[in-house]
């Protein structure tokens, strides 16, 4: 509880500094709105439903693309680790594309898919897929061969060895890759939403964009808070349990 107290004091302090700066009129109120006006905007957006619907749109895009990226990336990573020819081809391609900032996919996605959900999906998948492939491949290659040998003496073969030994043994790497894939996907989706309007749904990125167009700084800052909260929550909900699991089992320090 002491920890929670310190955290509360820290953030309350930040808000206070912010409020004091606004009261001292250090900057124009158009550029730096007070915490209260940001709060008011968030309250209104929450009550009239714009915030909720934008969150649903964004999170749905993210979840779909991310899930697809994982579902495809994981087996592909296993395959590149298993077959040298796939490593030399697909693996090399993944390595190259992973190094490409995933925002770079946005123009291409727009040309290919137009201003559709498809473009958004594509961008998120490209953000996720390559890092998951690389991490899985890397994880499998780092599994001590002794595990597979031990499993073989106990009668494990083929697919059983892959699913019950190699995959769990590579888990620390894979979770790392999932986390990185998530970060890439999240960033590139935001870039895409800010960059293009898609009529089938207004996401958080659009709200951010319109905040700028309307010179509504409280909206820009308010949405940034929402994005920040989603990022934190995703970390706590999606990855913390995995990391706790790994920590407990492997005894690795966080």
Partner 1 sequence: MTLPVELQNEAPSKLSIQAVSKRFASRKRDKPVQALDNVSLEVAEGEFVCLLGPSGCGKSTLLNIIAGLENADTGGVKCDGADVTAPGRDRMMMFQESALFPWLDVLDNVLFSLRLKPGLNASERRDVAVFYLKLVGLEKFHHAYVHELSGGMKQRVALARALAPNPRVLLMDEPFAALDALTREQLYGDLQQIWKERKKTIVFVTHNVREAVCLGDRVILLSPHPGRIQEEFRIELPRPRNINSIDLARHATIITSALKGFGRGGPPMPMGDGI
CB atoms within 10 A of CB 226: 19
Least separation, in Å, of the C-beta of 155 and partner 1? 4
CA distance 194 to 206: 5
Q: Which of 212, 232, 229, 231 is nearest to 220 (CA)?
A: 212
Least separation, in Å, of the C-beta of 175 and partner 1? 12
Residue 236: burial class (beta carbons within 10 Å; 0-12, 13-18, 19+): exposed
Helix (H) or strand (E) holding 85: helix 84-86
| Interface with partner 1, residue 254, by CB under 8 A | no
One symbol per residue from 189 to 218: x for binding partner 1 (CB under 8 A), - otherwise; what is it? ------------------------------
Nearer to partner 1, 28 or 153 (CB): 153
| Interface with partner 1, residue 244, by CB under 8 A | no
For partner 1 (CB under 8 A), the number of binding residues is: 20
Between the alpha carbon of residue 62 and those of residues 51, 125, 126, 127, 173, the distances in Å are: 16, 9, 12, 10, 22
Q: Which of residues 68-97 bind partner 1 (CB under 8 A)?
A: none
Nearer to partner 1, 34 or 156 (CB): 156
If you count them, how many residues does the chain have?
A: 254
Interface residue with partner 1 among 152, 212, 236, 244 (CB under 8 A) is 152
Q: Which of 30, 65, 75, 81 is nearest to 219 (CA)?
A: 30
| Interface with partner 1, residue 249, by CB under 8 A | yes
Near partner 1 by CB under 8 A, which window of 4-12, 46-54, 70-78, 144-152? 144-152
Q: Please, what sign has the CA dihedral across residues 160, 163, 168, 170?
A: positive
One symbol per residue from 103 to 142: x for binding partner 1 (CB under 8 A), - otherwise; what is it? ----------------------------------------
Residue listed under structure tokens 């087996």: 75
| Interface with partner 1, residue 242, by CB under 8 A | no
Give the footprint of partner 1 on this chain (CB under 8 A): 146-147, 149-156, 160, 164-165, 168-169, 171, 248-251
């Amino acid at each position: 509880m002491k920890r929670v107290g310190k955290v509360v004091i820290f953030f309350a302090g930040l808000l206070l500094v912010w409020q004091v700066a606004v009261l001292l009129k250090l900057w124009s109120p158009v550029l730096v709105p007070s915490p209260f006006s940001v709060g008011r905007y968030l309250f209104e957006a929450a009550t009239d439903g714009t915030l909720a619907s934008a969150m649903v749109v964004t999170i749905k895009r993210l979840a779909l693309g991310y899930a697809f990226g994982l579902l495809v990336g994981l087996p592909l990573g296993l395959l590149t680790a298993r077959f040298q020819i796939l490593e030399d081809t697909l693996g090399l391609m993944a390595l190259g594309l992973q190094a490409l900032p995933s925002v770079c996919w946005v123009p291409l996605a727009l040309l290919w898919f137009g201003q559709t959900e498809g473009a958004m999906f594509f961008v998120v998948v490209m953000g996720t897929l390559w890092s998951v492939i690389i991490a899985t491949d890397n994880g499998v290659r780092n599994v001590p061969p002794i595990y597979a040998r031990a499993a073989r003496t106990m009668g494990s073969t083929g697919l059983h060895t892959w699913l019950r030994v190699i995959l769990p043994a590579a888990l620390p790497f894979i979770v790392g890759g999932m986390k990185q894939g998530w970060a890439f996907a999240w960033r590139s989706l935001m870039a895409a939403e800010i960059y293009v309007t898609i009529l089938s749904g207004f996401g958080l990125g659009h709200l951010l964009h319109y905040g700028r167009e309307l010179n509504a700084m409280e909206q820009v800052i308010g949405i940034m808070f929402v994005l920040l909260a989603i990022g934190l929550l995703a970390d706590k909900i999606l990855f913390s349990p995995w990391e706790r699991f790994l920590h407990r089992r492997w005894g690795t320090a966080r």
